[in-house]
């Protein structure tokens, strides 16, 4: 048996998405910028998808820019804030995804005029210290706050409505990386009031290499990628037509069944937590554990120390269980988790991220638990 528990890295594509993309590849091969009928038909696919995405998050179609994924969308949001909106200060956290953290570091390095970067304090579960955030915001500089909706390694959820209200109170822009939560919760951009939010289709059973950036219509921004006049002049390059169609289909499927998915996947996560407590002596968990403060698709487990701990992921993989030690974007880089370091977690013990999807079954969790018992508990005897 092979069990896939690394859905925070990427999710398997839904069969309906594959079918829709195959249909578009077969029937709509024109360039969307061409003015003939083949081009117009392709363009229609994109604009219908844009309207569908916008409707699902209570946005306007003109506020949706299709991108190559979450990383490009995060980069564009931060770059536009500094370049186009006059931002001179960025407030973020030490546990953001590298798409944000590295983008901030790059902007700070290349800007001719100094950019101030400040990190908000965090609790041991990865929650933002709201009092400290407001204290930072009171300094009055032109600021963007960039904080993710849910952490991709420990699953801790941020109350982005409160952050947005604080930003508005102090005249700051707000960008939230919602890559892990888009398609997993109902997102209402009007209710939230964020200026930028980001998404990647492969996190909600869509294709890789496509995502979108929401930009509030009140903001005047310019493209990150220069070239043609695609995406209303905000992103040059021929559009990923099949990817956009796949994103649309995946987004519809995710949002239409969202309440059932939350209930189903949360029960899977809860079951694994309780079974790990019973089976593994001294097991602990990183991040928030209550359902209202933690993303239901992610569980970060701190196992007891054992002699072969550095081989844990490899041994689980040999037993057919796919999981990770953190973000897939840093796998292969022997630096440990910046997220766990950012919350001062115990990184001397083996830490594993298990992440679930609507396709994860209880039988798969039982199989994974047996593998964990054999490898971890067996080493403790």
User: Residue 9: which residues within 8 A CB-CB, separation 6 or more?
Assistant: 324, 327, 328, 355
Residue 41 corresponds to which tokens in the numbers above?
Answer: 């038909």
Residues classed as catalytic = 329
């Amino acid at each position: 048996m092979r069990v896939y528990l690394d859905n925070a890295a990427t999710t398997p594509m839904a069969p309906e998405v594959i079918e829709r993309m195959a249909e578009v590849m077969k029937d709509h091969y024109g360039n969307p910028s061409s003015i003939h009928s083949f081009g117009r038909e392709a363009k229609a696919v994109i604009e219908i998808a844009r309207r569908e995405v916008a409707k699902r998050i209570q946005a306007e179609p003109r506020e949706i820019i299709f991108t190559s994924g979450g990383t490009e969308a995060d980069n564009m949001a931060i770059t536009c804030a500094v370049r186009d909106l006059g931002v001179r200060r960025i407030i973020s956290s030490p546990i953001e995804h590298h798409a944000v953290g590295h983008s901030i570091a790059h902007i700070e390095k290349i800007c001719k005029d100094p950019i101030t970067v400040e990190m908000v304090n965090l609790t041991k579960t990865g929650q933002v210290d709201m009092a400290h955030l407001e204290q930072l915001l009171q300094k009055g500089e032109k600021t963007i706050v960039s904080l993710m909706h849910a952490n991709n390694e420990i699953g801790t959820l941020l109350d982005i409505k409160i952050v947005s209200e604080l930003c508005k109170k102090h005249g700051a822009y707000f960008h939230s990386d919602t890559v892990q939560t888009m398609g997993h919760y109902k997102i209402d951009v009007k209710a939230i009031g964020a200026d930028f939010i980001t998404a990647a289709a492969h996190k909600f059973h869509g294709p890789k290499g496509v995502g979108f950036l929401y930009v509030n219509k009140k903001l005047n921004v310019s493209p990150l990628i220069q070239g043609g006049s695609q995406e209303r002049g905000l992103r040059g390059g021929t559009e990923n037509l099949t990817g956009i169609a796949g994103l649309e289909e995946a987004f519809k499927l995710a949002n239409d069944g969202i309440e059932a998915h939350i209930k189903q996947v949360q029960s899977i996560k809860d079951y694994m937590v309780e079974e790990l407590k019973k089976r593994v002596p001294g097991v602990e968990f990183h991040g928030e554990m209550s359902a209202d403060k933690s993303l239901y698709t992610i569980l970060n487990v701190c196992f007891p120390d054992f002699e072969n701990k550095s081989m844990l992921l490899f041994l689980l993989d040999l037993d057919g269980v796919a999981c990770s030690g953190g973000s897939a974007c840093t796998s292969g880089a022997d630096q440990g988790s910046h997220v766990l370091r950012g919350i001062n977690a115990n990184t001397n013990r083996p830490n594993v991220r298990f992440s679930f999807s609507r396709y994860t079954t209880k039988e798969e969790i039982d199989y994974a638990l047996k593998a964990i018992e054999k490898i971890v508990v067996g080493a403790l005897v």
